[in-house]
């Protein structure tokens, strides 16, 4: 299962995307739009969440942050649980009905959230939204169905680019629309989903013949299956732990950034959206252009270490900053920590045999998804505690201090023993 953390997807340069897009068949365009809308589902509403939660529930910003953590965790948990389920259903009933039904339900769900007058209806909407946005596996399966073997890698790269574009566009669009009210981003998301459903109904053909369909099996739709690989991949358990710790700490950004921006700097939804979009662009540049030269110069081990140094510096600064201008200046420094995951993946991939690569990356994706479930609740609870009225210590940057401590622990674990250099690749039974 692929992670929903769009921080590690690098969109294609805009002219290349436009040229490539014009040459694509309509079904392929539909698939890419579906993935992009899935990715926008989180970022689109982030800029308005502080105001929206206070609007429907009352209370202060610290209370809103707690509920924001619950909503974000619920969304991530549903994606984690239902990604393999929807993929399995598409193997049983075909890709077309699963993709179209998910978009129709997504349209209705965004409409319900636009009208929601209680926190519980918002929570139900986020849970349903997480399920409908868990179509990445189905979209990837459709892409494999329609692509010749020699083109699949490139087209899977387009899926990654669409996901990255959605992460950048979501906060930008949400921040701009948030100036027209807390419900405007939801109506926009509903229109996007409905328009894409209409396009899919018109152009999407079924690609899975009846003869190739298989019975749905709940045991095969188990999202924890990939995590079972953690104990079966010899020699890289420490790397997997560092990978997981990094994602728990790094997820502090999407978890609390909107609340932190309001509390610390008095930012508007537009400013929050622009800052998140800037962060996404910087991450894309790091992942798309910088990672190669850094790896060639420092090697995988050196890249992981220098990435942790940048992460520690960014977290330390954000813990204490009181200037919004300086927070924006720190974004490129924070984005440089994005070299850590691909470098760790390279180290681990080199340590397992060819027939274990899928299992390894399944474990990595599942660990990332679990981090995105754990981190929002933890980080927003820390933010709420240190910003609540009467707090013993007022420290809006406390979640970044926690992220700093986690990152420091990850660096110690990584550096405590030399990275294995043996070329032998263990083979799983």
Return the higher-pLDDT residue of 227 and 57.
Answer: 57
Confidence of residue 429 (pLDDT cuts 50, 70, 90): very low
Q: What is the pLDDT of residue 224?
A: 65
Lowest mean pLDDT among 90-99, 193-202, 284-293: 284-293
Return the higher-pLDDT residue of 333 and 209.
Answer: 333
Lowest mean pLDDT among 222-236, 343-357, 365-379: 222-236
Return the higher-pLDDT residue of 124 and 369.
Answer: 124
Residue with tokens 């892409």: 143
Q: What is the pLDDT of residue 12?
A: 42
**Residue 56, CA atoms < 13 Å, CB-side half-sphere:** 21
Looking at every residue in the chain, the average pLDDT score rounds to: 78
CB-based contact 428:356 (threshold 8 Å): yes
Q: What is the pLDDT of residue 8?
A: 41
**Residue 233, CA atoms < 13 Å, CB-side half-sphere:** 28
Q: What is the pLDDT of residue 220?
A: 57
The mean per-residue pLDDT over the stretch 121-141 comes to: 82
CB-based contact 359:313 (threshold 8 Å): no
Cβ burial 32-61 (10 Å sphere, 16+ → b, else e):
bbbbbbbbbbbbbbbbbbbbbbbebeeeeb
For the cut 90, the answer to whether the pLDDT of residue 272 exceeds it is no
3-state class of 105 per DSSP? helix
Q: What is the pLDDT of residue 221?
A: 57
Q: What is the pLDDT of residue 394?
A: 92
> Per residue in 176-191, pLDDT tens?
888 888 888 889 889 9
Return the higher-pLDDT residue of 363 and 345.
Answer: 345
Confidence of residue 249 (pLDDT cuts 50, 70, 90): very high
Q: Report the run of H or E that residue 267 belongs to, with start and end.
A: none
Return the higher-pLDDT residue of 280 and 359.
Answer: 280
């Amino acid at each position: 299962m692929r992670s929903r953390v769009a921080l590690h997807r690098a969109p294609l340069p805009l002219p290349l995307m436009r040229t490539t897009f014009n040459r694509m068949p309509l079904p392929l365009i539909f698939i890419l739009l579906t993935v992009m809308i899935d990715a926008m589902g989180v970022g689109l509403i982030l800029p308005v969440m502080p105001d929206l939660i206070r609007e429907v529930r009352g209370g202060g910003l610290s209370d809103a942050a707690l509920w924001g953590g619950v909503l974000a965790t619920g969304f991530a948990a549903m994606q984690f649980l239902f990604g393999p389920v929807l993929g399995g259903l598409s193997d049983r009933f075909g890709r077309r009905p699963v993709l179209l039904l998910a978009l129709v339900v997504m349209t209705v769900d965004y409409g319900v959230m636009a009208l929601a007058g209680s926190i519980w209806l918002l929570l139900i909407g986020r849970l349903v939204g997480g399920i409908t946005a868990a179509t990445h596996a189905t979209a990837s399966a459709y892409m494999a169905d329609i692509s010749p073997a020699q083109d699949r890698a490139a087209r899977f790269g387009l899926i990654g680019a669409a996901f990255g574009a959605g992460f950048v566009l979501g906060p930008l669009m949400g921040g701009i629309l948030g100036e027209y009210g807390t419900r405007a981003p939801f109506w926009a998301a509903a229109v996007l989903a409905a328009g894409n459903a209409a396009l899919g109904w018109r152009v999407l053909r079924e690609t899975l013949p009846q003869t190739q369909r298989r019975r749905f099996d709940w045991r095969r739709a188990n999202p924890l299956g990939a995590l079972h690989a953690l104990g079966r991949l010899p020699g890289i358990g420490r790397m997997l732990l560092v990978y997981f710790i990094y994602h728990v700490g790094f997820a502090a950004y999407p978890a609390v950034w909107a609340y932190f921006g309001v509390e610390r700097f008095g930012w508007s939804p537009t400013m929050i959206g622009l800052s998140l979009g800037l962060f996404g662009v910087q991450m894309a540049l790091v992942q798309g252009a910088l990672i190669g030269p850094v790896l060639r110069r420092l090697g995988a081990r050196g890249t992981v270490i220098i990435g942790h140094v940048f992460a520690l510096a960014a977290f330390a600064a954000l813990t204490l900053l009181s200037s919004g201008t300086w927070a924006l200046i720190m974004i490129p420094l924070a984005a440089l920590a994005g070299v850590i995951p691909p470098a760790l993946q390279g180290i681990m991939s080199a340590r397992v045999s060819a027939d274990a690569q899928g299992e390894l990356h399944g474990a990595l994706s599942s660990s990332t998804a679990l981090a995105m479930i754990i981190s929002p609740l933890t980080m927003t609870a820390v933010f709420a505690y240190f910003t609540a009225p009467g707090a013993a210590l007022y420290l809006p940057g406390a979640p970044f201090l926690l992220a700093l401590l986690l990152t420091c622990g990850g660096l110690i674990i990584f550096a405590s023993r030399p990275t294995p250099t043996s070329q032998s690749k263990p083979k799983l039974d």
